[in-house]
A and B are shown apart, each in its own frame.
Chain A
Amino acid sequence: MRLRSYASIAAGILLPLTLACSGSSSSSTTAPSKPAKTLTYTDPAGTGWRLVKDASSTSTRIVLDLVGPSGTKTRGVGFNLQAEPKAKFGTFANGLPINDTGVYQLLSAAADPNEPIALVGGVKPGNVLSVGIYQKDRAQPAQDSGAPLCQIAVELDPSKGLESGDHLALSVVKAKVIPEDIGSASDDLYTLNQKMRMADITIATGSLSAK
């Protein structure tokens, strides 16, 4: 914070001088911006559903782990994350903006490495990241949500005009999980219809800033 103030002051002194040379008498011009070079992320408080910074993050790429409450078993999670337009969602080696951490079993029990997995992600209009990761085989057990379940990434994009000191608001506007009890294939359709419903959750986000 102190460094930022200092830099703004220094720029503010120079600018009026330059403007005075061009004949302006104004002295209220704002300080010039400084392009951001790094990103920082502060984890949210609490032990519920939250996005926390992963150790693999770098100064220009923040990798966020989705972590749930320990002891709560789920079969998958999906959420929509609204971000400032200047925030750029990054991708992983799989080409998607979501990365599997290996908790959920994305293949069926008779695993075929070529079979499609229930992992999807994209960016909707308005810079809304929409990602989901789910177990496909309903016969497999639900997993404890207390570990990182998946990852997303936010990157510094010089082309977006991000300035040092900018705060990039993040908010999860929609989030649901597949609960542990989704019924059995042997249940009647009424029972299945009651149980096969995703549950709403709230995901806390931390503070993302540029420097």
Chain B
Amino acid sequence: MKILVVEDEKDLLNAMVDYLHQSGMTCEKASTLEEALERIDLYDYDGIILDIGLPDGSGLRVIEEMKKKNHQTGILIVSAKNSLDDRLSGLNIGADDYIIKPFHMPELVARIKSVFRRRSFQGKKELVMNELRVIPDEMMFFVNDKQVPLTKTEHDLLMFLLSNSNKVLTKESIAEHLWGDHADMADSFDFIYSHIKNLRKKIIDHGGRDYVKSVYGVGYKFHSE
């Protein structure tokens, strides 16, 4: 999966690229609008992570250019300003999703993967890992080809874990993925625990392996091997 990361803050750019790289993506960097426009002109990408506030212009230009190319690239907007206008205009002119700074890296990975999935698998949008199979759009989950009913939260949790397999996920990042602004509700970590427990049980009960391991004091990790 080849991603272009457009971000003017070099440190943040490098950190993002490092993390995406750890998650098995190939990344290229651009830190100005000019650079970004040049890159999309020369190469094709599976996804673009795009900061709107660039020193030499609005990142929205990139989206406009991509549109002219009649592309199949998923675009994820990164906005420093928690401003509705930026997000809405970005989504209106063709971005697929947005994320607000600061964010958890696993969240970024989950979002860009979801954008990529929506864009790429035309028709057959499913995710397979060993004996597990998910059809995200229909919220269907199969273990050894047997359908396992999941609640919405369990489904979201599973998708987040699958997107970030073999990564240590903090409880905070999971809570924020599942409940957004409500993540800081009291006892939300207890809820994560019970959802993880249920999900694990459902997979094991249907003959799947025990993929989810808890990482002491930190959170959880989904081992794919």
The answer on A and B forming one complex is: no
Question: Which residues of A approach B to under 8 Å, CB–CB?
Answer: none
Question: Which residues of B approach A to under 8 Å, CB–CB?
Answer: none
